[in-house]
Amino acid sequence: MKRLKLVPFAAALLISGLYTASLRDLPLGALYDILMNLRPSVEAPADLVVIDTSGEASPALSSDDAIRILLVLSAMESPLAVFQTNVHLPDESQSFSSAERTQVVQKEFSRIQKNITNLFDGIRLGSVRPQDAQRYVQDVNALVEESKNRLLLTIAESGTTRDLELEKARSLFHRVILCDDLVWGASAGSALEVWGGQAVYSKVDRDADGGLRRMYPVRDLPNKRLIHAGMALLINSIGGDAKIDRTETGLQIGTDQEQYVLPLDSQGRLLLHRPESYKTISIKDILAYQEQEKKLYEALKEMERSGYFIHLDALQYPTTLYEYAQSLEMEVLDSPLPDRLRQWREARQAFYRAATDFLQGPAEKTILAGYEGLLKTESLQEGGKERIASLKELASQSFSWARKAHGELMDLKTQLESVLQGGYCIIGPASGDAEATVSLLSTILSRSFIHPGKPLYLFLASTAIIVLLYIATAVFSPLWFFVFSVILAILGFLITAGLFVIGGYWYAPLLLVTVVLGTAILYEAEQVLYLIYMRRHQELALKYRMSPPAFKAVVHHIPLKDLASVPTPLDIQEAEALILCVRHASFFGDGPASPLQAFAQDVKRFRQTSADLIKQYGGTILWMDGEVLFAAFGFPPRNSVPAWNPAKEALEAGRSIVSAFPDEPVTVGMDYGPAAFYFDVLSGYSALGRVSIHARVLSGLAGRYQVRLLCTEAALNFLQAGIDEPLGHNRIDILVDKQEGRDIAFFAIPYNGRSGS
């Protein structure tokens, strides 16, 4: 049965081997995220900023918004932009925004209205003669047809115009990284941009639970190599002739002066260390910035119409400077030369300075003071003061509204400049692929790499642990073995978790814990099943051969420390025990003298009484053979019951048996020594050896010597050692054992106050 002890450990080793063999890489999960939080935090690059588009109704970005973003980035002098979202041109029916459509329609219909009004005014005033009216009507119809054609042409060409404007904005900003797996304008489905000789991709695969824990920095396809957008940005930041090479340990990036070696898993993925925070700004803030700029211009334009710029040089009007900057913007879009780009930026700054100087300067006080002076004039006509007071109030409100618009604009401008100026911009949803780019760059630039462990190493560690657990079964009982396994699992978890938190080596701590506890549970389950099996066999062999307390002492105190080495009743067990043989001499002969039923009843009574007395004193019934009954004291051993004294119990049992049959030829023979015990369902327990023979012979000789209780010298010494007072005995004779070649003295033991007769 000792071989069964290997079964749970062999099974655990097999399962562990099959599982690790099925793994290409060790799994990640929630524990990876928890332990990652214990690692030193990683800071995102200070010059990296995400323009979050996740607040938009559509996941894609319109070409208008993309153009506006690129214009703002150009104005803010951002060095690079990565688009990680689709950029769509509007449908033909949606080529213009609502405001633009309204503007075009109003412009054309105002022309039509003007032509019709002029015609009727000419007729009414008499400048158009009745005979010429038909020609003028034909001219008006021709003008209406021209307006209709212009509207249709504008709508038809709007898609091409928007795509052209998008490319102009991209050329203006110049350093734009596009991705092969995203849409850019008219290049739907293939926005391939070769960056540093590599095709760029954006979309990353997340884990099954949606977590972003690893990604491919580079994907080698049969016909091309794809690098992630973050890698393209990294190559740009490194500069020079940065190269990407695969090595045995991972991926090597950089130049001769600066190198990054990325440890990859077997599939070429990098384990990411996500930063706690990074710079981000909503696209709504950028669009709001441009809208606020227009609001300020409109407020200033209204002030210009009201004559509030009268004290300014016409060329230094804020509105003039804004219009000049807008005209330069159109020119630089058409021809993005460095000098024009510089002039455009300077013109924008001049507009901001002029607006600030005007709104924060003395202009308002001067204008209001002028109105105050007019109000003090006595020569005003009736209603003049009310008119002037109204104009004064209007001027004050105009300055107030303009200052409010200016303040909000400057707040947005300051906010955007602090983030975008000199910042590498990633345009896309912050919770999408843009997050992967930030994590990739943060991991590489901080050199906070996670080294993915190999499943083979984990299997070797599991094998060593399983061997250690097998050795521990020889030291600990099943209960303490499980406690040891739990402690070992905790130590294994702490070691592997520490390797990850401190050293950056990922070896999936839960897998090691599973191996330890799984092996322990398999072993414990086997021990439980084996214990049930042993108790079942012990019950079959001993339940009716021992008293209930003695049986419980044996069954419930099976040594669990090395259960596999505990013999079963079917196993041959050699042990030293006192063998007691009870004989009823009247049952020996050719047949019963009394009727058969009465004879059987006497035999039954003899056996039952003798068996009950033997069990009462803790003995074990072995077998019955005709007129004799065998029992053992000291087998099975009851080491768990220190108070049990088999010698004393055997002596009392022998005396009680002969006393129970005072008028019947019942004799008892006893010997002590080694015997081989085993159980057989057909014959019961057998005790093989000279001890059983001696006990049987002595039970037969007792009647010849007119005594009831005989024992050998070995049995006498055993009985004497088990009682406190001297044991009375009479030497009877010598038993010659020819097989052993020795003489064995035997003695009569007194019982019930008698000398043994």
Q: What is the pLDDT of residues 701-725, one digit of tens each?
A: 988 888 889 999 999 999 988 887 8
Query: Directed axis angle between helix 509-542 and helix 478-498, to 10°?
Result: 170
Do 516 and 645 fall into the same domain? no
Where among 567, 594, 625 does a domain terminate?
Answer: 567
User: How far is residue 72's CA from residue 173's CA, in Å, rounded to a whole number?
Assistant: 9
User: How far is residue 623's CA from residue 217's CA, in Å, rounded to a whole number?
Assistant: 81
SS3 667: strand
Chain centroid to CA 683: 62
Within-domain flag for 276: no
Where among 527, 548, 567 does a domain terminate?
Answer: 567
Please tell me the pTM assigned to this model.
0.70
Q: What is the pLDDT of residues 541-567, one digit of tens each?
A: 777 788 788 777 777 666 666 666 666
User: How far is residue 331's CA from residue 341's CA, in Å, rounded to a whole number?
Assistant: 9
Q: What is the pLDDT of residue 463?
A: 94
Contact between 541 and 685 (Cβ < 8 Å): yes
Residue located via tokens 């930063």: 275
User: How far is residue 249's CA from residue 510's CA, in Å, rounded to a whole number?
Assistant: 25
Residue located via tokens 């991991």: 443
Do 555 and 689 fall into the same domain? no
Do 691 and 580 fall into the same domain? yes
Q: What is the pLDDT of residue 166?
A: 80
Do 517 and 603 fall into the same domain? no
Q: What is the pLDDT of residue 592?
A: 53
Within-domain flag for 295: no
Do 591 and 519 fall into the same domain? no
Within-domain flag for 593: yes
Where among 550, 567, 584 does a domain terminate?
Answer: 567
Within-domain flag for 140: no
Nearest to 618 by CA among 599, 638, 589, 593: 638
- Kindly give the parts of the chain with pLDDT less than 70: 1-3, 56-59, 90-115, 117-162, 186-198, 240, 376, 378-384, 556-567, 588-594, 639-643, 753-757
Rg of the Cα atoms in the chain: 53
DSSP assignment string, 308-339: TTTTS-GGG-HHHHHHHHHHHHHHHHHS--HH
Long-range contacts of residues 603-611, Cβ cutoff 8 Å, at least 24 apart: 606/661, 606/664, 606/666, 609/657, 609/660, 609/661, 610/582, 610/657, 610/660, 610/666
Sequence-distant (6+) residues with CB within 8 A of 633 are: 577, 578, 580, 617, 618, 619, 620, 646, 647, 649, 650, 653
Do 556 and 583 fall into the same domain? no
Do 460 and 554 fall into the same domain? yes
Parent domain of 516: 1-26+453-567
3-state secondary structure 117-151: HHHHHHHHHCCCCHHHHHHHHHHHHHHHHHHHHHH
Do 551 and 633 fall into the same domain? no
Backbone φ and ψ for 213, nearest 5 degrees, come out as -125, -20
Q: What is the pLDDT of residue 507?
A: 92
Nearest to 587 by CA among 569, 567, 605: 605
> What is the distance between the terminal CA atoms of the chain, rounded to a whole angstrom?
49
How much of the chain is helix, strand and coil, in % rounded to 5? Answer: 55, 15, 30
User: How far is residue 514's CA from residue 381's CA, in Å, rounded to a whole number?
Assistant: 100
User: 712 vs 43, 634, 731, 746, CA distance in Å?
Assistant: 91, 17, 10, 4
Do 579 and 545 fall into the same domain? no
Do 501 and 530 fall into the same domain? yes
